[in-house]
Chains A and B, each alone.
Chain A
Amino acid sequence: DIQMTQSPGSVSASVGDRVVITCRASQHISNWLAWYQQKPGQAPRLLIYSASTLQSGVPPRFSGSESGSEFTLTISSVQPDDFATYYCQQANSFPRTFGPGTKVEIK
C-alpha cells in the first residue's frame, strides 16, 4: 500500500496568515492527489484534485502544487471558516489511501 505522510501534524495560525501543509507519498503517484477539509462531526469536503485543480465552489485562497514527490496545500490568507483538519489522498494505486491529517488551529 502507498503510505501518505503529512507535515506538520498541527499548525497554529492567526486569521490572515499563510498556511502551508505538505503531503508525501511512499511511491510515485504522478498527480493523482486530492486534498480534503474536515470539520468536527462533518464529512470530508473535497478541496483540490489532480494535485492542483480547485474543486468547484472552493475559495481561491486554497491552492495545491506538486514538486517531485512532495505535494503542498496552501491557504493564502486563513479565514475563520478554515480552522479544520486537512487530509491528502492518493488515487494512483489501490487501495486508495489517506494521510493522517493536519489540524489547523487558531493561535
Chain B
Amino acid sequence: QLQLRESGPGLVKPSETLSLICTVSGGPMSTKTYYWGWIRQSPAKGLEWIGSIDYSGSTFYKKSLRSRVTMSLDMSRNHLSLKLSDVTAADTAVYFCARSVWSVSWFDIWGQGTRVFVSS
C-alpha cells in the first residue's frame, strides 16, 4: 500500500524559502499514470491546490503561485519536493502531498500533512 509522508522545517522566516519533502513508500513513484501534487490548508484559504508534477517532470502550478513555486521528483530516492520562495505569513498552513492517477484530477492517497509557520 502506497504511503506518503511530508517532512520539513515547521518554522520559516518571512522572505525565505520553504522547502518540503514528500517521501513515497510501499511502491514506485515512476509509474507513468501517477501525478504527484501539493495541497495546503489554512483557516483563511481552506484547501488550496499548489501544483502537481508527473513522472516526466512536467509541472502544473497554480498561476498565482507560479513565480514562487518549484516542484521536482527524485525517483531514485522516492522523493517529491516543494520549494516556495519569498514566503509571508499568508503561506502559513498545513502542507499535504498527494497522488492522483491518470491526470491531475482527484487525490486518492494523501500524506498526513506537515504544519508550517511563517514567522520571524
Interface residues of A, Cβ cutoff 8 Å to B = 32, 34, 42-46, 49, 55, 87, 89, 91, 94-101
CA distance A95 to B47 in the complex (A): 12
Q: Which chain B residue has the least Cβ–Cβ distance from A34?
A: B106
Which A residues lie within 8 Å of B62 (CB)? 94-95
* Contact A32 to B105, CB < 8 A, known contacts A87-B47, A95-B49: yes
**Complex Cα distance A55/B96, Å?**
20
How many whole Å from A41's CB to the nearest CB in chain B? 9
| Cβ–Cβ contact A97 & B110, under 8 A | no
A101 cross-chain contacts in B, Cβ below 8 A: 46-47
B87 to chain A, nearest CB (A): 19
List chain B residues, Cβ under 8 A from A55: 108
Q: Are A42 and B112 in contact (CB under 8 A)?
A: yes
Q: How many of chain B's residues have a CB under 8 angstroms from any CB in A?
A: 20
Determine if A96 and B104 form an interchain contact, defined as CB atoms under 8 angstroms apart.
yes
- Minimum CB distance partner of B48 in chain A: A98
With A42-B112, A43-B110, A44-B110 as known contacts, state yes or no: A89 contacts B104, CB within 8 Å. no
Closest chain A CB from B90 CB (angstroms): 16
Task: List residues 99-120 of chain B with CB under 8 A from any CB of chain A.
Answer: 103-108, 110-113
Chain A residue at minimal CB-CB distance from B51: A95
Closest to B49 in A: A96
A99: chain B residues within 8 A (beta carbon): 46
* Pairwise interchain contact A98-B49, C-beta atoms closer than 8 A: yes
For A91, list chain B residues within 8 Å (CB): 103-106
Question: In the complex, A35 Cα to B19 Cα: how many Å?
Answer: 29
Given known A-B contacts A42-B112, A43-B96, A43-B112, A97 and B49 have beta carbons under 8 A apart = yes
Interfacial residues of chain B within 65-114, with CB under 8 A of chain A in the complex? 96, 98, 103-108, 110-113
Q: Is the CB of B47 within 8 A of A46?
A: no
